[in-house]
Amino acid sequence: MSFRSQAFFDELPAGYREIRLYDVNSRRFKLITGPVSFAVSLIIAALVFASRIRFSADNLTVRWHPLYLLHVLTVIALIIGYTVLHELTHGLVYKILTGRKLSFGFFGSMAYCGLPGVYVRRNVAAASCIAPFVVFTAVFAVLLYALPVNIFWFVLLVAFMNHIGGCFADLYAFAIMLRRGKDLLMLDNGKDQHVFVKDNGAAREFREGKS
């Protein structure tokens, strides 16, 4: 399809050079992915909770029961299942927009989904990057406002917090991709990503990426 042929290259075109989209070791990145993402996800979860609950002692009474351990296991299962679905959503967008073969696997405790050997244009990379945030925020919003507030609802709320926190690096990358401009290309091998920009003498970007 024609939109697909516009979406990617099989080889890096001449005149491009690799840059770092962001530096995972930079203090700014660590600050955002750690405490800031946790605080933001906690605040959003608290707002969802406050909007669903009329604060009264009755509503907030939760008696401990050994069966609640099941809910802890449910949280863990939801988080693992979410991680896989999140990566598949990145991959699904790549698949739709390029038609190329994906790679999928586990890297330690992290799932990954990539598109090896394909240099996708900025808009494809950005669409794939933001897709899990858009899709699962909508799914969680529907569930958290449609389901009754009970123990399972709290389980979902924890999974929702995990989703918001887990999307922070994606949102950060998405914002930088938009700022870098349309000429950006991305090679996403799943375990590692490489970003390229047109080499029109902007050596300053390279130094910026290394800082």
Q: Which residues bind Zn ion (CB under 5 A)?
A: 170
- Cβ 9 to Zn ion, closest distance in Å? 23
Of the two residues 138 and 202, which places its CB atom closer to Zn ion in the complex? 138
Min dist CB 169 to Zn ion, Å, is 7
The encoded tokens of residue 95 equal 């698949």
Structure tokens at 24: 């995972």
Q: How many other β-carbons are positioned within 10 Å of the β-carbon of residue 188? A: 26
Which contacts of 48-52 are long-range, i.e. CB under 8 A and separated by 24 or more positions? 48/144, 48/157, 48/160, 49/157, 52/144, 52/145, 52/149, 52/153
Give the nearest distance from C-beta 191 to Zn ion in angstroms: 13
| Paired residues of 114 in beta bridges | 103
Q: Which is nearer to Zn ion, 170 or 183 (CB)?
A: 170
Q: How far is the CB of 147 from Zn ion (least distance, A)?
A: 25
Residue whose beta carbon is closest to Zn ion: 170
Smallest separation, CB 131 to Zn ion (Å): 9
By beta-carbon proximity to Zn ion, the closer residue of 170 and 199 is: 170
Measured from the CB atom, is 18 or 170 closer to Zn ion?
170
Nearer to Zn ion, 168 or 196 (CB): 168
The DSSP secondary structure of 134-186, one letter per residue, reads HHHHHHHHHHHHHS-SSHHHHHHHHHHHHHHHHTHHHHHHHHHHHHH-TT-EE
